[in-house]
Structure 1
């Protein structure tokens, strides 16, 4: 027997054992619980089972938000359906021109909405920013996203979990009316909260 053959023979069982050990480790990792108790230990139950959030009561939430914003000019609630509804908040006085810093008028509207939204843990809140058509399209798109992100941060600070919030912007792409007049531009500058069930 040559030294090379002896070396091959002596390493073969070790390689076989290593392969078997690796296979058993992979099987243990792939099996929830990894033990003989069928994965019922507290650690694995916590890691693998996510409690579904309660189904939203859209009509109740709509009513609560309507009462909360009754004294706020321009806030509009969309129609309720099984997919949720949207809330439209004007931002003509909510941000300075070209800025994403929330002014008191918008802060009051968001503060009025936040408690009911925070309490409904089964509701996802997608914030969409919109601008008028003044300035360049790219600048308006960036501004609308920055404003939506500022609203998300504001709502997060008022108790709405981050995993329920998302921000996006449309810039000048989805106007409600013509941008040819100042009145139209004021109406087109807005924030929308799209309320839908948590996935």
Structure 2
């Protein structure tokens, strides 16, 4: 028996290109408007888009606090407060183990005295700069000064100063306060400086 086959071509449904374009447009719209109306209304997006500026420091008040906190600590010098900040200089002749970044109690006490007032000032950046005398190799002194500055940064971080406010640098023997020809001069040149400035 001979059977006639009917035309069995697939009947067209929704056009594939139209479906793909519609889905793509919907996905793009969802990504572009996290809050549903073109604005970021949830907490995550608000946090990503808005950064609160830290308060403007009162340099004179901070200087007074630090001067009071370091009363009785030999050799700590608080610089004059200007419009952009000031420096704190800490002698470290007995502040580190010889040839090492290990902090000794004398320096630890000075840093502990300074830390609370600095931690409370969220708008203040603290750049720690290490300095050595000229004894020994210039490259060794540079590396030692950097390692000591990093040790001070770690100490201050443990006492509540946010890491994004801290930076470490070392100058080795490059910036002496006085001649290295005498032991007295070398003692004076071995120091840590805290350079306080406005957070960017």
With normalisation by structure 2, the TM-score equals 0.85
Match of 2:176 in 1: 175
Q: How many Å separate the matches in 2 of 1:141 and 1:19?
A: 62
Match of 1:141 in 2: 142
Change (3 A) 1:92 1:51: same
1:39-118 → structure 2 map (5 Å cutoff): 39-118=40-119
Q: How many Å separate the matches in 2 of 1:174 and 1:16?
A: 72
Once superposed, which parts of structure 1, at least 4 consecutive aligned residues long, lie more than 2 Å away?
13-29, 31-35
Pairwise CA distance, 1:47: 1.6
Q: How many Å separate the matches in 2 of 1:100 and 1:86?
A: 21
Change (3 A) 1:24 1:80: farther
On the 8 A contact 1:78/1:87 being kept in 2, the answer is yes
Provide the secondary structure at the position in 1 that maps to 2:168. strand
- Structure 1: runs of 5 or more not aligned: 1-12
Q: How many Å separate the matches in 2 of 1:107 and 1:45?
A: 40
Q: Aligned pairs, how many? A: 186
Provide the secondary structure at the position in 1 that maps to 2:98. coil
Provide the secondary structure at the position in 1 that maps to 2:152. helix
Pairwise CA distance, 1:32: 7.4
On the 8 A contact 1:94/1:102 being kept in 2, the answer is yes
Q: How many Å separate the matches in 2 of 1:24 and 1:127?
A: 52
Q: Which has the higher Rg, Structure 1 or Structure 2? A: 2
Change (3 A) 1:102 1:35: same
Change (3 A) 1:174 1:188: same
- Structure 2: runs of 5 or more not aligned: 1-14
Q: How many Å separate the matches in 1 of 2:95 and 2:53?
A: 35
Q: How many Å separate the matches in 2 of 1:40 and 1:70?
A: 50
Q: Which has the higher helix share?
A: 1
With normalisation by structure 1, the TM-score equals 0.85
Change (3 A) 1:132 1:14: farther
Q: RMSD over aligned Cα, in angstroms?
A: 2.3
Q: How many Å separate the matches in 1 of 2:33 and 2:85?
A: 35
Q: How many Å separate the matches in 1 of 2:23 and 2:142?
A: 55
